[in-house]
Amino acid sequence: MFSLPFSVGTHIPKILTTPNPKLLTTKHVEKTVIKFSNKKQKTISPIEQLNEDPKVLLKRREAVGFGLRFGLVDVLLQLLPQPNSSEAVEAAAAPCELTVSPSGLAFCDKVVGKGPEAVKGQLIKAHYVGRLENGKVFDSSYNRGKPLTFRIGVGEVIKGWDQGILGGDGVPPMLAGGKRTLRLPPELGYGVRGAGCKGGSCIIPPDSVLLFDVEFIGKA
């Protein structure tokens, strides 16, 4: 199986060709072919999704530009070694009493940060563990030893992440240094299409409720 590290920011992501122009927000493109080992495990990040073909022609862009508020983009990134981080994953999965907002997003602060809150459009860094409702981990930035870097509040991540970090609609903003559990209904995650689907099987099945344990590090 494949192991796909999904970090963005200073290391510019490579994204697949898509017929939907709304999903792409930058212009400069460099084509790259990436080969994958068949001994790794598939993962899915809040901004990216697997492609069905293990060898694909990708595009490289200056900025993230995924626009997941409009839909899904199939993404494959170059393999990196993954250090063991089982302790971080187990700590993130600790129970937490959730508060449900009007949008359906539920949240719980495990650690309230002491730094500044994020500003819409700001480039920020965050660690996370993503789990299905049954507890199965589908991705973890801790496993890669590197936080996710993205621009907040402009559609570069799924809707539940923008609201869960920036706040709004009954959700307080996260402060830098804070750790928060988010429970996303399907409409704030990957919706009816799911993610990482191949041969009738999906890493994130359609209409999945997702749990994310997010550590907001601060601006990048």
Give me the mean pLDDT over the 98-113 stretch. Answer: 98
49 pLDDT more than 80? no
- What's the pTM? 0.65
Nearest alpha-carbon partner for 26 in 77, 59, 75, 65: 65
36, 66, 190, 216: the active-site residue = 190
Please say if 142 is a catalytic residue.
Answer: no
Q: Is the domain 14-219 a CATH 3.40.1260.10 member?
A: no
**Least confident span in 53-57, 87-91, 179-183:** 53-57
| Nearby residues of 180 by Cβ (< 8 Å), 6 or more positions away | 107, 108, 109, 110, 164, 165, 174, 213, 214, 216
Please say if 128 is a catalytic residue.
Answer: yes
* CA pair distance 66, 85, nearest whole angstrom: 28
150, 212, 213, 217: the active-site residue = 212
Percent of the chain predicted with pLDDT > 90 = 55
138, 142, 150, 216: the active-site residue = 138
212 and 157 Cβ atoms separated by less than 8 Å: no
59 and 30 Cβ atoms separated by less than 8 Å: yes
Please say if 138 is a catalytic residue.
Answer: yes
6, 36, 139, 204: the active-site residue = 139
Nearest alpha-carbon partner for 112 in 210, 181, 212: 181
14 pLDDT more than 70? no
- Domain extents in the chain: 14-219
6, 36, 66, 128: the active-site residue = 128
Kindly report the average pLDDT of the chain as a whole number.
73
58 pLDDT more than 50? no
Residue length of the chain: 220
12 pLDDT more than 90? no
Please say if 158 is a catalytic residue.
Answer: yes
